[in-house]
Structures are given as structure tokens and as C-alpha cells.
Chain A
Amino acid sequence: MQFLNARSAAAWAAIALAAGSAAAGELAAPQGTPVLAIDGAISETNDGSRAVFDLAMLEALPAASFETSTSWTEGVQSFTGVTLAALMEAVGATGTGLRAAAINDYAVDIPAGDWVAGGPIVAYLRNGETMSIRDKGPLWIIYPFDGNPEYQSEVIYSRSIWQLDRITVTE
């Protein structure tokens, strides 16, 4: 209970922080190794026209977790991360969609309609652990396939991406 309360308090703190940052109109600069760069139609930036995040910054955003199976992994996995909706809000995205690209330059397009609560997350924890690049990390965009039958389609499967390192919000 105490743990939950602690977590809850931390979550509230994070929300307050994020809200505060948003309200402040600018993003803090990353302290650690940058893992994700967002550009395009966004209002909040911290590196020129880009918004660059290290893992701590992502972890500070409202977190969401779910368990699901995927076609690239064996068995049910648990994922934890920030929802795409929260992330886009954090950067003040105003576009109709986004292009997510991987380290290996694989890229997918995700329409703005998918940025909803209960929708995809930018996961930084798989089965409670961070993911190395060798392990297809550090970030995945993953949908709760098992939790929502509407996501069990090839189109949605193709919108998932691993080794995510940059997002461009398109007009």
C-alpha cells in the first residue's frame, strides 16, 4: 500500500512536473544520453526545432503499462512506457500524424487518430527492464494488441516499431 502510495505520489509529481513544463512553454534539456528526438509540427522544443528526450525525461512523463503478445516476441510480454498521446501533448504536437523512424532507418507512419488514451505507448521497459540496442531497444512503439481487438490487424502491426530513435510530426 505504501509502495502504491509512493508510486502514486511519484506519478502525481511527474504529472505536475510535466504540466508545469508544458505550462512553462519549454522543455528541459536532457541530462543523460538522448534516446529520442522529436521534430516537425511541435510547439515545445529544447534543441533548436527539436525536442530531445533522455530516458529520465520519458520516465517522468505519465507512464502506462500493459501486457500483450506480439508477432516478434515469444509469449506474453509486459511493456511500460509513456503513451504516445501524452508524449505528443508534451511536445505540443499539432500535426495529423507522425513518422517514427528506427536506428536502422526503418520508418512507419502513425496517424494522429491513434494518439489516444489506451492507445499505443512508447515503451522503455520490457518485462520490467530497459532494452539495449542489441535487444531491439531502447524504445518501441507498441500497441496493446491483446487488450483491444481492433488493434489485431496487419495495418496496426505494421505501425509498431522497435529501436525507435526519432519521430517527425507531420502537418
Chain B
Amino acid sequence: MSELLGRQRNRSRFLTGVTVFALALCLGLVAGLGWVVKRQLTELESASSDNLQWTLSQAEVEYLRMTLAIERAADGTGSLSEARRRFDVLYSRMATLESSTAFDALRADPGLAESLQRIREFLEGGVPLVDGSDAGLRNAMPELVPAAAALEPDIRALGLEGLAIFTELSDSRRDQLVRTLLLMAGVLGVLLCGLVLVAGILLGLARNSSRRSREALETAERLRTIVETSLDAIIVTDAAGIIREFNPAAEKVFGLARSEARGRVAAELILPEESARELSGGLLAFWDEDRRPSPEERHFELAARHSSGRVFPAEFTIDRAEQDEGPVFVAVIRDISGRKAAEAGLTQARDRALAGERAKAEFLAVMSHEMRTPLNGLLGTMELLRDHSLTETQSDLLDRMQSSGRLLLGLVNDVLDLAKFEAGKMRSEVRPFSVDRLVEGVVETAAPLAAANGNTLSWSWTGPSVDAVLGDPRRLRQVLLNLVGNAVKFTRGGSVELEVEAVGPQGAELEFRVIDTGIGIAEEHMDRIFEDFETLDSSYAREAGGTGLGLGIARRLVRLMGGEIGAESEPGEGSLFWLRVPVRPIDEAPETAAPARPARPAPRKPLDLLLVEDNEINRFVARAMLEAEGHKVTEAVNGRIGVDCAAAHRFDAILMDISMPEMDGPEAARLIRAGSGASARVPIIAVTAHALPEEIATFREAGMDACISKPLEREVLMETLARIGSGGLAPAAVMPGPARMIARSNRTQSQAAWKTMAVGKRWQLRPDTVFIRDGRVQIIRLAIGAGQPDNSAGGAS
């Protein structure tokens, strides 16, 4: 902008210079011509004033008088002195003619020059006679008279020719003057044109300038109106921070009159000291560095001060403008007390709402968790009951009780899963696993229900198999169990197939398809089956029961893994549920558990065991199981007592609960290992719902050797103890790494379950699922229950 103005200014300067030069040139020309004209006029004047013609005619008159005087003197009628006098008069006249510059032209004429010469010769010849004696002059008279008479033609020629020459000369002078005058008129015309042009340009410039100044005035007026009607305070300062302008809004915002504010230092006037310090500390770096603020530097919030001393939050927008007398800074300041209050209110409301949500989630989680503990106790106790001789009726009743208990546990677990998702605590894992084994496990788990509904259940690879991959087997298993479980639930006397296919580039995705020949789902319901709490109104659904959370959770899990889930269905024909998850194929799946489970090792050596567990029912169940196997059990109700017992007595092994009041399991294990008590070196087995890898790692760091999951499974417990009894529980072998141990644990549990099923039991816990879910329950409890008293949450661990 300023560059453009500068260029315009330069151009107009150049034009002005050229114009002035041209006009000066014209004026010079006119002056020069004027001088020429004046000189010519002077010449004309002097020519006339000199009266050349009079001189010439006078010469003739004086010649005639001289001739007459000489003749009279010769014949005696005149005096000699008169003759002398007339001679002298002619002499002086001719001297004038010969010497005066006025007669240059006359002398230049060859004919006249000769005439002059002859007259001169007569005069020069006469001088000695005239100056001589009277006698001499009288004697010379006879010659003098004819000589004088002979000059008559020459004198006459002078008169006539001179007249002609002077007329000519005068004409030519007039012509010259006319030409000069014409030239001058021309130059004057040019000058006039130039002046007219300049006047035109000046007029244009004046109009332009007046238009611009009018525009500038209008703009200024508009700006003034904007500034004065602005609701925001507008303050203009110079580079030194001295206030130059202070608009009405500023007067209101700061409680200062414009006259009071102008001339004062802005920072001292409108900012509290701490804000001024903040400013000098960096917000106004651009000010000190004498530059325009960058866009992000222009806005900031800062406390400002009312003249009453009240400090209020304000929003500043500052920019710099260049002016002729130096830079000025324009600050637009808004009192944002209201907004801040609203923000604070909103934040408070949000916090309250969040707190309410959290409280609700906590309530849900705690309630679910607390429900699980007695439920596990019930289920465990029922299992113990089977050790006693029961009548068939009693056995049936026990079956129903266990079935109901299991259903209840599933519902509670669903709710917990959901709560966990809502809390955002769910994370995907990546670890190696075998697809074949995972799918086999799912099929095995669902097989009993499938069989109960008269369905065939099978799985197969479509296309080349990809066994070893990296992924999240636990979540995948949960989703597949849900889908397969649904399929067998909603199918009677049909088939359920699970197809697996490696898709995507280099088998980077796995697609699982669960195809049943069940009742199917109507088109209009397809889009809501993945919603939470969605149960389709069907007799099967009612029969199968459930919260309607299963598919919603499945969808969340699949998304968590970065995959997709979907379904297609034809009512009456069956359904196809598919899911696709990204995996990374690897060379080899990890070595998992021991293959087929050997027969229960026997004979077993009775062991002396310490059971550290705070929950009474859990203690009871564990003690009952252990004592049924012939082991001796000492109980400790928390970690601290456990540490004391371990110090006082040497046990063969210690079963350690993890979450307990007073002192938790890992801490107790650390103390036992760190001390030199009687049981400082005996195996410690963690009994926990905590199954996350990182948690298991912390158990190992705490000095624990193995980990078994809750609720306690008789088979697993016995096997672990059997290995301890046979000396097979070397810490390195039992806890090689979290992943492996979990895989083993899951594997053995599901196999145990399958085995139980195979021997004719009609029900079975889903230990796999329970285990996993139990683990999550623990996580969420820890996450959201932090800060709660230990005794309110610790019972279930």
C-alpha cells in the first residue's frame, strides 16, 4: 500500500518537475524575446528620434546655404565669415553622417560611399582655405564656387538614396519586429496552453484531493462512529504506551473519563500490577521488539483493573498500525467477567454431571462386583455339594441352581463390561496366538449348549489357513463366543457353522462367519440388533433371556480391535454374522499349555498350606476343596496376618489373595520374601481375578511363583498343588511370562470343563469367560474404586 503511494508520489513529483521546467523554459523564451523586442523598439525609436531624414535633408539645406554663402562671398555681396561659418556647419553635419552608427547602412552602400568620399574630399580640400587668411580665401573663390556646385548631385543622391535605404531598413526592422512579435506570440500561446494544461491538471488534482479528503473524512467519520459505538473498549496508544484515544466503551469498562485517560500510560492505568508484570514477561514481546504482532500474539486474556480497583478478566486484541508520526497500538478490550462466570458455571455443571455419571457407574460396578462375590461363593459351594452323595432329585435341583447362578453371573458380567466400556477403560492387546486353538476352544465351549438344542456345531477354514497371528485373542474369543452362543441359542435342530478365512493383503485380516439355520432376523430389525439392551421379541429370546447387551458389547470389542462386525439374515432361513479384524500373521504361535491333560497325578502328598484370603466364603470354599484332598489349611484373613503366619511356621505353599484390606497380596509376598521367616522361600501362589499381563508381571516381581484364577476350580487348584507337592513348581517354569501362563490357565480350565461335560454333566460354568470377565471386573473395580475403603471392595478378590 505504502509502496504504491510512494510510486504515485514519485510519478507526480516527476510530472511536476517536468511541467515546471517546461514552463520556466517558456517564460525564459518570452523574457528573451521581450528583451529582443525592446531592443528593436529602442533601435526604431532612436532611429526616429535621431531623425535621420531630417539630418539628410538638413545636410542638403546646409550644403545649399554654404554654396550660397560662397557665391555671395565670391561676388562680394556676402561676407567671408558667413561662408566660413556655413562651411563649418556642413563639415560638422558630414562628420555626423560619417561617424554616427545610425548611418552605417548609408555608408555601406557603394554609390553613396563614393558620394560621401567626394564630399569629404571637397571639405578636406576647403579646410586650409577656410582656416587661412581672408585674402587667400577670396583668391580661391573662383575655384571653390564650381567645386561646391559640383557636389550637388552627390548631396542630392545622399538625400534620396539615403531616404530609400532608411525606408528599407525601417521596413526590414519592422518586419523583424513583427516576426519577433509573432514568435513571441507563438511562445506565449504555447505558454498559455501549458498554463491551461497545468491549470487543468491542478484542477484535476485539486478535485482528486478534495474527493480523497472527503472520502478520508467519511471513512474517519465512519470509523469514529464504529469506535464510539463499539461495545468493546478501544484504546489507542503510541509506541511509549501513552493513551491517545479512549472510546466511550473504554470509559465505561474502566470507569475513567476520556480526558483522564489520555496522556497516561495505559499499562499503569488499566492493569493491576500482576498483569503488568505478566505483560513485560512476554505477552508484549512484539512491543519491545518494535514489530507487528503475529496473529497468535494478538489475542490474549489478562486481568484488567477498573478505576475503582476492581480487577476483572478481560480479553485483549492488540495490533499495530504504522502512521507518519510513528507506530500506534490499537487494543480492543472486552470485559469477559460474564463469560468467565458462565464458563465456570458450565464447568461446574459439567463436573457435577460427570460426577453423577461416575457415581452411577461406580454404583453399578460396585454393585455388580459385590453381587459377583456371593454368586461365586454360591457356585463354588454348589460344586462342593457335588462331593457329597446326592439323590437324583437333589442333583437336579443342584443343576437348576447352578444354571440360574451361571445365568445371573453372565448378566452381571455383561453389565460390568458395559460399565467398563463407558468408563473407557478397555484396551486392546496385541500378542501371538493360534487361530485354530482359539476357534476350537470357542466351539468346545459352545458345544454343550449346541448339543442341548439339538444343533450340530462345526468350524472350518475357507481357503488357506493362517494359524499364527498377532492380535487380541481374549476379545476375539469373547465376541466369537457371543456370536456362536447366540447362534446355538436361536437354532433348534439345525446347524451352526463357524467359517474362518484369511482376507486382505497377506492375510492381514481374519474374517469369521457364524452361519446358522435358525429363526433368522427380520429386515427391519437388522439395524438395531447391535444396539444396547436390544432384545427382539421372540419366544426364543425370551426363553434364552439375557440383557440384550451381548451384541452391543461384541460390536464395541470388534471396534476396539479395529475391525468390523455385521449380519445378514433371512427370517426362517437362518442368519450369518460376520466379523473382520486386522491381525498380523507371524511365523509361529507361542507354545501354549501342556497338550492333553494327564490323569490326575497320584498319589498326592498332603500339604501344609497357608490360605491368605479376606473373604469368608472364598476361604470356606477353598478350605473345603483343599481339605477334601487331604491338605492341611491354615487361614489368614489379610496380608499382615499372612506375613505373621508365614514367619512363624513353615508351610509347603501359600495361597495368596491379591486384593485385601490391611495389606494386599503382593505387598505381603514381598514382605515374606524379604524377611527371613520360616516360610520365606516356599512357593506363593497368587489367587486372583487379576489376569492382565502387566499385573501378573507385578505379582512375579513381588516374589509370587504361580497364579490361579478365581473362582477356584477344583481341578486347577489340585493340579497346581500336585505340582508343588511333586516339587514341579519351580518358579521359572511356572511363571515364564504372563501370556503363556494365562493361555495355559485358560486352556486347562476349558479342557477341564469340556472333560466334565464329556462325562455326562449337563451344565458347566464357562470358566474361560468367567475368568476373563472376572479379570475385567477386577480392573474396573480398581480403576473406579480407587480411594474407596479397602474393605468395601476387597472381598471378591
Contact = CB atoms under 8 A, between A and B. Distances in A.
B308 interface: no
Interface residues of A, number: 16
A134 B100 CA distance: 15
Given A72-B96, A72-B100, A103 B49 contact: no
A163 B92 contact: yes
A5 B92 CA distance: 38
Contacts of A134: 88, 91-92, 95
B670 interface: no
Ordered nearest first, which 5 A-B pairs have the shortest CB separation?
A: A133-B88, A134-B91, A134-B88, A136-B92, A104-B89
B360 interface: no
Given A71-B50, A72-B100, A104 B91 contact: no
B137 to A, nearest CB: 16
B89 A154 contact: no
Interface in A114-155: 132-136, 154
Contacts of A154: 45, 49
B511 interface: no
20 contacts: A71-B46, A71-B50, A103-B89, A104-B61, A104-B62, A104-B93, A132-B88, A133-B88, A133-B89, A133-B91, A134-B91, A134-B92, A135-B92, A136-B92, A136-B95, A154-B45, A154-B49, A157-B49, A158-B49, A163-B89
B85 interface: yes
A12 interface: no
B97 to A, nearest CB: 12
A161 to B, nearest CB: 13
Contacts of A136: 92, 95-96
- Chain A contact residues: over half helix, strand or loop, or mixed? loop
Contacts of B85: 103, 133
B58 interface: yes
- Chain B contact residues: over half helix, strand or loop, or mixed? helix
Contacts of B91: 133-134
A106 B88 CA distance: 15
A80 to B, nearest CB: 20
Interface string B54-90: 0000100110000000000000000000000100110
Interface in A67-118: 71-72, 74, 103-104, 106
Pick the most buried of A133, A162, A163: most chain B CB atoms within 10 A of its CB: A133
B46 to A, nearest CB: 6
Given A104-B61, A162-B92, 13 more contacts: A71-B46, A71-B49, A104-B93, A132-B88, A133-B88, A133-B89, A133-B91, A134-B91, A135-B95, A154-B45, A157-B49, A158-B49, A163-B89
Contacts of A158: 49
Interface residues on B, range: 10 to 19
A134 B92 CA distance: 4
B88 A104 contact: no
Contacts of A71: 46, 49-50
Contacts of B92: 133-136, 162-163
Contacts of B95: 134-136
A14 B89 CA distance: 32
Interface in B116-146: none
Nearest to B61: A104
B483 to A, nearest CB: 132
A65 to B, nearest CB: 23
Interface in B316-332: none
A154 B45 CA distance: 9
B245 to A, nearest CB: 66
A135 B85 CA distance: 12
B85 to A, nearest CB: 6
Pick the most buried of B46, B58, B89: most chain A CB atoms within 10 A of its CB: B89
Contacts of A133: 85, 88-89, 91-92
Contacts of A135: 92, 95
Nearest to A134: B91
A126 to B, nearest CB: 13
Interface string A18-45: 0000000000000000000000000000
Contacts of B88: 132-134
A151 B473 CA distance: 134
A92 B78 CA distance: 35
Contacts of B49: 71, 154, 157-158
Contacts of A106: 58
Contacts of B45: 154
A74 B96 CA distance: 11
A42 to B, nearest CB: 25
Nearest to B84: A133
A160 to B, nearest CB: 11
A157 B49 CA distance: 9
A54 B100 CA distance: 30
A106 B99 CA distance: 20
Contacts of A72: 96, 100
Contacts of B46: 71
A154 B96 CA distance: 19
Contacts of B100: 72
B58 A104 contact: yes
Contacts of A74: 99
A30 to B, nearest CB: 16
A157 B93 CA distance: 18
A134 B62 CA distance: 13
A72 B99 CA distance: 10
A134 B87 CA distance: 8
Contacts of B96: 72, 136
Interface in B34-61: 45-46, 49-50, 58, 61
Contacts of A162: 92
A72 B97 CA distance: 11
Nearest to A162: B92
A49 B88 CA distance: 28
A74 B99 CA distance: 9
Nearest to B81: A33
A146 B685 CA distance: 144
A149 B525 CA distance: 129
A158 B96 CA distance: 17
B384 to A, nearest CB: 153
